[in-house]
Each structure stands twice: as structure tokens, then as C-alpha cells.
Amino acid sequence: MPRVITRKDHILRFEDFDLQPEILRALTDLGYTEPTPIQEGTIDALLRDKDMVGQAQTGSGKTAAFMLPILDRIDPGSKDLQALILCPTRELALQVADASRSFARYLDDVNIVPVYGGAPIVEQITALNRGGQIVVGTPGRVLDLLRRGKMILSDCRMVVLDEADEMLSMGFIDDVRDILKRTPWGKQTALFSATMPDPIKKLAEEELHTPEFVKVASKEITVDTVEQRVAFAEGRDKLELLERFIQEMKPPTMIIFARTKIGTQKLADDLKRRGHKVRALHGDMGQGARDSVMIAFRGKRIPILVATDVASRGLDVSHVTHVVNYDLPDEPEVYVHRIGRTGRVGREGFAISLVANKEKPKLDAVERLLKRKIQRWGIDEPVQPLTPEQIAVAEEIEAAEESGEVDVLVVESEGQPQASSESTVDGDAPKKRRRRRGGRGRGGGGENAGTPVVAE
């Protein structure tokens, strides 16, 4: 039986875990004051060497959930590969590696090596030869390195399958099994996933030893903190509507989701022609192009990204304020993942879906999943004042633009952002508290003021 963790009052602090002081210090730097529910539910068991299945949606803090216990138990005196984390995409592998380095900043002699396809293997081999105790990689490249004998797993004591459902849907499941076969018996295995389709359950049954199950049964973060709207439009009218939305909301950072690679590119081109500073992100682009787009978007140098689901799934871009569903996804769960780009860990965001007549059944499915109707976006909506967060983002974009770091493509003026974000009304959970967060990077914002915000 999964242990069910609900969002009640959390008294646990990171100091209550048996983690090295160097790790706690890094968390303080990062503004992590209290563990998220998935962290609360898994860190202790992982530190005790238990196998673990953790189910929690995107943005719930899974990276620290598995990485802190790994870092705590790495032997810095040995250069052997001791922990392997498998991720579905290179973007995620890089992101997990980056996050891990920030957790490890006060640990001496712990090396984290990301390995992924689309980049020269030689450099990755060199990095492995130098001695990486932790490897974060995509299944394809990891298998390649193993087959070439460039990566040795005989001393690997900890294995994590991150975003397991996504690895499944991308067709990596056989590679994952193949890799697991090459790891020593008696290692610890942890599997993290947003959803638990049958093949993932089966994988867990076959590969994990008496695992603990933790499922975060909170109401979806996204549903709590993202203001959602729909608007109805056919064909090209969607573009007009999108344009109006951008004009009205002046979103500081926005991801627009489209269903196909071609549609994504075309929409980005259309918006560019209309003078918006926008980039596309999809699987037909080369690795270099994708990386540079991600860096520019993360660095807030481009405010609008048009992306496919696969290219952007799980990406942690914590400053996204607005999400547009230019097309509704086939699976209602994907809707939740998409709007999970915004409103991450207790922030508020705004999501709008542009729905054509033939997409109405998909909208119904989404509403059934959410167990609520999504309100229509109308000109009557009161314009909400900017949140301190949005002001801070807008200022950073301006500063980046003034400093001349602006990317090559289209450059033109972005007006003063002015957008969304009314407080979430949460009728059925009167006592629910929005979890208090320490500052995440940006000091002084309202959300960091130290008093819990009560959504009622």
C-alpha cells in the first residue's frame, strides 16, 4: 500500500534529516527552508538504503528528493561511479546535473557528470575518466558508453529512474532494463514518476526490492496556484486571439504549447513576423539550437517560447508566468503537466487554452480530470495588479536587454508587463495553507516575507 502524504501541516525541516552539514548549508543558500511533501516522504527512507517508488507531479521537488540522499552517501575518497541517474531527455539530464552541483557545492571531491546524446561522446568519456562518482544521463547514451566499456557500473550502489513514465513513452524502457541488468545486485533503486502506467508498475515490481511507495496526494499544485481560462477560436482566429492575449497580458515569460513540431515552428515564425520576441523549441532542431534557446529562455532573454510537449516536458523554468495551450493535448494529464510550467512550488501563474470546436471533447476530458469547469477568458475580466514576482522578472528582462546580451534574432520593445494572478480561490479546502517558501534566488519578494499565505 502506498503511503499517502497529504498536504497538511508540515513541521519537518531539512535539519531533521540526517544530512551532512555541508548539504544543509547549500540548501540554505538555495533558499530551501522546508522539504516539499515528496522530499518529506522519501529522503529518510532513501538515506536508510530502501528501494523507493515516488509518485508526484512535475514541479514537486523530486530532484532534491533523490539527490540529497545520494550526495550524502557518496564516498569522495573513491573516484568510482557510485550513483547513476537516468533521465528521459538531455535537457532534463543537464538540469538534474546542474541542480545536483548546486546541492553539492560545499562537498569536496564529488563530481557529477552529465552524459547525453547529440553531443560529442569523446568529451563525456574524458569527463568519466577523470572520475565522476555521479552520472546523470539519458538511457541511449549511457548504454552506448557501457557497451564501449567507457562506463563501469560494478561499484554503482544507487540507481534512480527519473521521470520513468516519460522514459517509457519515449521508448526507452528496454534500454533502461538493459542498463539495470548491468548494475550490481544489492544496489538501491529508486523510481520517480508523475504517473504510474502499468508498464512502470511492472518495472518497479520486477526491478525493485520491497520498495516503499510514496504518493503525494495533494491537490495538484497547478490546480491550486494557476489561474486557468479557455477561449474558443477556429484555425487562424487562434493566432488573432493569441495576439490579443499577448497585448493584453504583456506576459513577462510565457510558454506556448503546440502539438506538432511543424505547427510549433510555424507559430513561432508567425509571431516573429508580427514583431514578437519569440523562439521555437522542438525535436526537429539540432541540439546546439535547442540548448541555446533554453539558455536564452532560462536567462530571461527571450520572453516567449513556443514548444512541443516532448521538448519541454519536466523542464524546470521556475519563472514562467503564463502558459498558452495553442492546441489542447490528446491526454488530459499532459494539460496538467503543461500548466505545471507555471505556478511551480507555490507560485501563481496564468494559463489559457485556445479551443477549436473539434477540441471540445478534449476540453471535457481536462475538466473531468480537474473536477471543475475552466472559466471563459473574457474582456470583462478585471485586470490584476502585478505581483512582486512579476515585477522582479520584468525588471530582470529589461536589465538583460539593456546590458546588450540580447540574442541575435528579433529584437523589439516589450511593454511594461501587466498581468494576471488573482489569489486562488479554494473553496473546498478552507484550512489549506499555501506552503511557505524561503527565497528562491530573488530576495525580498512578497512570497518570502516569512508569514504563511493562507488561501481561503
Q: Which residues bind ligand ADP (CB under 6 A)?
A: 32, 35-36, 39, 56, 58-64, 314, 316, 318, 344-345, 437, 440
State the burial class of residue 161 (Cβ atoms within 10 Å of its Cβ: 0-12, 13-18, 19+): buried
Q: Which of the choices ligand ADP, Mg ion, none does residue 345 contact, using the CB cut-off of 5 to 8 A by kind?
A: ligand ADP
Closer residue to ligand ADP in complex, CB, 150/436? 436
3-state secondary structure of 426: coil
Least distance CB 93 / ligand ADP (angstroms): 12
Closer residue to ligand ADP in complex, CB, 187/313? 313
Closer residue to ligand ADP in complex, CB, 289/345? 345
3-state secondary structure of 3: strand
Applying CB under 5 A, which residues contact Mg ion?
62
Q: Any residues with CB less than 8 A from the CB of 105 and at least 6 apart, and which?
A: 26, 29
Least distance CB 232 / ligand ADP (angstroms): 31
Least distance CB 160 / Mg ion (angstroms): 10
Least distance CB 210 / ligand ADP (angstroms): 24
Tell me the residue ranges of DSSP E strands in 223-335.
226-232, 254-257, 278-281, 304-307, 322-325
Closer residue to ligand ADP in complex, CB, 95/188? 95
Q: Which of the choices Mg ion, ligand ADP, none does residue 132 contact, using the CB cut-off of 5 to 8 A by kind?
A: none
Four-residue CA torsion sign, 337, 338, 339, 341: positive
Q: H helices within 148-209, ranges in order? A: 164-169, 173-181, 198-207
Closer residue to ligand ADP in complex, CB, 263/388? 388
Closer residue to Mg ion in complex, CB, 66/335? 66
Least distance CB 83 / Mg ion (angstroms): 16
- AA identity, residue 232: F
How many whole angstroms separate alpha carbon 406 and alpha carbon 299? 10
Report CA-CA distances (Å) from 448 to 35, 79, 152, 325, 346: 16, 40, 44, 30, 11
Least distance CB 20 / ligand ADP (angstroms): 17
